[in-house]
Amino acid sequence: MPASSPTDATAITVPDTPPIARVRVGKHRALKGETELGRTRRARRINRALAAGYPDAHCELDFTNTLELVVATVLSAQCTDVRVNQVTPALFARYRTAEDYATADEAELQEIIRPTGFYKAKAGHLIGMGRLLVTDYGGEVPSALEDLVRLPGVGRKTAHVVRGNAFGIPGLTVDTHFGRLVRRLKLTEEEDPVKVERVLAKLIEKKEWTMFSHRIIFHGRRVCHARKPACGACFLAPECPSFGLGPVEPDQAAELVTGDNREHLLCLAGLGQPGENEETTGVEKERNDA
Ligand code: SF4
């Protein structure tokens, strides 16, 4: 579905960031201290650059309605979205309503979701969730945070995914990618997800919360990997005090960049030219015109 729409990347410009070739390890000005205003401005520049990098950022779980999104998100705990998407077509064909989950045969449900791991606990969550939706919410998924977190297997992160992507209510989804990236970008030092959410809520405009979350997660999956971030091929390098955490040599770093829009990401980092079929974004246009 998603309810939130991506920002129009052609309208995006990245202000006065130096070319990646001039970025130096350990020299970012934020490392010497940064005012609250400076950090807010940097966070918003990062969001604009991410919007240009990932104009189609979205929830990577497949779903066609709110119940399917909640179920897919519960299954995504400790599991990749790709694996969840392999399982959900059969699951959603068999269980279409909250009532179906409430009355599910536990062994049968476990068997279908087994590939997502922790299948016994997850099956219990889905059955419990179905029952609560039927008894307390007329079989419909509620939109209020306090109602969503009552559902078994649904924490604050899942609730924000559902609110942002099914109801269009802005929310910051602090998962492992999100936490790792905002700490590397020195937007916060907090480890606790609720505290991270609170800090970022002050830095990023509310209407951007959902899309910012998607963009950050996209970047974490494609460029700023947990073990070996592709720093030398990262278009956020001029804004990142952690530049140098991964390889800085461009060719070596470029090898680490993944995803369908890899060429586009490398272009933004100043490595390569826009492809023939690729629309020039505001960022590239600025650089091409310079
Ligand atoms: S890849 Fe490197 S430069 Fe880019 S955001 Fe991650 S740590 Fe910073």
**Rounded average pLDDT per 10-residue block, the chain, 290 residues:** 42 49 79 90 97 95 97 95 97 98 98 98 98 98 97 94 95 94 97 96 97 96 96 95 95 95 94 56 40
Residues noted as catalytic: 157, 175
Q: Is 267 annotated as a binding residue?
A: no
244 CA closest ligand 1 atom index: 2
Atom 2 of ligand 1, nearest CA residue: 231
231 is in an annotated binding site: yes
Amino acid at 15: P
The conformational region for residue 155 under phi > 0 = left, psi -120 to 50 = alpha, else beta, is beta
What atom of ligand 1 comes closest to residue 241's alpha carbon?
8
User: Which of 98, 72, 239, 274 is CA-nearest to residue 158?
Assistant: 72
Of 20, 46, 185, best ligand 1 pocket probe by most atoms within 8 Å of the beta carbon: 185
Q: From the centroid of its chain, how far is CA 130?
A: 27
pLDDT at position 50, please? 97
Q: Which of 191, 146, 176, 222 is nearest to 77 (CA)?
A: 176
Kindly state the DSSP code that residue 207 receives in the 8-state scheme. G
Amino acid in position 29: R
CB atoms within 10 A of CB 10: 13
Please tell me whether 234 is known to bind a ligand.
yes
In contact, 196 and 190? CB cutoff 8 Å: yes
CB 54 within 8 A of CB 45: no
CA 156 to ligand 1 centroid distance, Å:
27
Q: Which pLDDT score is estimated for 33?
A: 84
Sign of CA dihedral 238, 240, 244, 248: negative
Q: How far is CA 185 from each of CA 50, 59, 127, 136, 227, rounded to the nearest angstrom?
A: 13, 22, 40, 42, 16
Question: Which residues does a 6 A CB cutoff place in the pocket of ligand 1?
Answer: 184-185, 223-224, 229-231, 234, 236-237, 240, 242-243, 245-246
Rounded Cα gap, residues 260 and 218, in angstroms: 11
What's the confidence (pLDDT) of residue 170? 96
Tell me the whole-structure pTM to 2 decimals.
0.84
Whole-number Cα distances in Å, 197 to 182, 203, 206, 247: 10, 10, 12, 29
Instruction: Return the closest-CA partner of residue 63 out of 6, 122, 2, 111.
Output: 2
Name the strand (E) or helix (H) holding 111: helix 106-113
**pLDDT score of 19:** 61
59 is in an annotated binding site: no
Q: CA dist 271 to 127, 211, 268, Å?
A: 50, 26, 7
218 Cα–ligand 1 center, Å: 13
Mutating to test ligand 1, I would choose from 242, 248, 256 the residue with most ligand atoms within 8 A of its C-beta, which is 242
Which one-letter amino acid corresponds to residue 157?
Answer: K
Domains defined along the chain, listed by start: 9-58+194-289 (no CATH), 66-166 (1.10.340.30)
Question: What's the Cα-to-Cα distance from 15 to each of 24, 35, 67, 281, rounded to whole Å?
Answer: 19, 19, 41, 14
Residue count of the chain: 290
Kindly give the distance from the C-alpha atom of residue 10 to the centroid of ligand 1, in angstroms, as a whole number.
24
Which of the listed residues 178, 221, 224 should we mutate to test ligand 1's pocket, taking the one with most ligand atoms within 8 A of CB? 224
CB 187 within 8 A of CB 224: no
